[in-house]
Amino acid sequence: MRRTAMIITCFVCCSTYAVAMILHLTIGNSQPLPIQSVGTYLSGSGGNDDTIGFEITSIPKFFKDNINLSMARQEGHTCIPYIMAYVNREQCGGVFTARDYIQKYEAGHPNISVEEDGIVGTRREVKEFIQNNFITQSYIDAGGFRRAIDSGHTIMTTTIITGNDGTKELHNILIIGYDSKDSINPKLYYMDPIYGRIFNDFRVTEFNVSDPAYVYVIRGCKN
């Protein structure tokens, strides 16, 4: 993907019905799977969309044990700060909130409201914002998803979402695990801040050809 500038707007609708209508393009154009039984699916900690979850057909390998399977849902166009807060808490044991990261960004961008506008800037500016707060490594240097996850690291990257008006926007997600029973082309488990929970509706090969806007392996936090 060749871009000189991008806007990570992280679209989120204003009602539960509207959120349910968002198309999860992710990588394989597959919709999140509905919960059919407690034994088949894991879901988050509640909310009005308890039909959203991820199918467990094997054993997921997460970046750590006793992982929190849910997070606070993003408000407005705040997918990056909400994912950053989840990483800070779950991976680093920190106390930074999404509001802390929003305030840090807006302090350097006085004409921007992250909730209304999202994270706005060139690829370099987005990279600098992420790297100012986290210790990162390239996907290639990290040795791929399996080695990164096995080392206790997460992967911050982008997908595409489509709103009710047909507008496509970049959206920030966090890959936190993989299907440990599939050694060839495992499904990847990722946290989506729109829903505040985990999905596994694409595989490694689908991600590799998806041309995301960025891929950062998160090794640790700087705050």
Domain that holds residue 80: 8-221
The number of distinct structural domains making up the chain is 1
Query: For 93-126, b where at least 16 C-beta lie within 10 A, e where not — what string?
Result: eeebbbebbbebbeeebeebebbebbbbbeeeeb
Q: Model confidence over 123-168: pLDDT tens digits? A: 888 999 999 999 999 999 999 999 999 999 999 999 888 877 888 8
Does residue 2 belong to any structural domain of this protein?
no
- Residue 27, in any domain of the structure: yes
In degrees rounded to 5, what are phi and psi of residue 85? -65, -40
Residue 67 maps to a domain? yes
Confidence at residue 57, expressed as pLDDT on a 0 to 100 scale: 60
In a domain, 1, yes or no: no
CATH of the domain at 69: 3.90.70
Whether residue 214 lies inside any domain: the answer is yes
Residue range 84-95, pLDDT digits in tens: 999 999 999 999
- Output the pTM of the full model: 0.78
- Cβ pair 221, 133 in contact under 8 A: yes
β-sheet bridge partners, residue 34: 52
DSSP category for residue 16:
H
Per-residue burial over 203-213, b = 16 or more CB atoms within 10 Å of its CB, e = otherwise: bbebbeebebb
Query: In whole angstroms, what is the distance from residue 205 CA to residue 182 CA?
Result: 12
